[in-house]
Amino acid sequence: MKEILITVFVFTFISNNNLKAQTLQDSILAINFSQYINKPIDSLINILPSSYDSIYTGAGSSIFVGATVIVRYGNSNIWVNISPGTHNYYTPLNAAHNPPHIAWPLASVRKENTWKIVVWGLSNLPLREICCGDD
């Protein structure tokens, strides 16, 4: 009986040390983002953890030019910004100075091909930045 208890204790101890909880940030940073460059933005959104708080379009290079899809994980303070490299389904210039969600409808921008992916945390530096296939 004593040997069984010792075996169970050792097994439990070893199992607990080998199991580490993977955080949301770890899950996102483990993604091979290079394989989503030049593929529809939707293909990347579909494999991101679905626990995001919101997904919306924001300004790209300036307030009135370009669009970026922003996937926000508010509880974890993580943002994934996905910039398109094509403009087949929306007009990149916001000449009317509309809010981003009107100028660049999310449903349209999601169809575009991915050009750049940036994962942000709370620091001023990106956690990960992939552009043009460099990972």
**Range with the lowest mean pLDDT among 18-22, 73-77, 112-116, 131-135?**
18-22
Instruction: Say if 6 falls within a structural domain.
Output: no
Return the percentage of the chain with pLDDT > 90, whole number.
56
The mean pLDDT of 94-118, rounded to a whole number, is: 90
Instruction: Say if 57 falls within a structural domain.
Output: yes
- The per-residue pLDDT of the chain, averaged, comes to 84
For the entire predicted model, the pTM comes to: 0.79
What per-residue confidence (pLDDT) applies to 29? Answer: 96
Instruction: Say if 5 falls within a structural domain.
Output: no
What per-residue confidence (pLDDT) applies to 108? Answer: 94
Instruction: Say if 10 falls within a structural domain.
Output: no
Instruction: Say if 37 falls within a structural domain.
Output: yes
* Amino acid identity at 116: K
Report the distance separating Cα 14 and Cα 18, nearest Å: 6
Report the distance separating Cα 74 and Cα 26, nearest Å: 16
Phi, psi of 58 (to 5 degrees): -135, 175
Domain holding 31, by residue range, is 24-131
Q: How many domains does the chain have?
A: 1
Which residue has 């999601």 as its token pair?
Answer: 110
Instruction: Say if 9 falls within a structural domain.
Output: no
Instruction: Say if 3 falls within a structural domain.
Output: no
Strands (E), the chain: 54-62, 65-73, 78-84, 114-120, 128-131
Report the distance separating Cα 55 and Cα 20, nearest Å: 29
**Range with the lowest mean pLDDT among 10-19, 27-36, 80-89, 113-122?**
10-19
Instruction: Say if 12 falls within a structural domain.
Output: no
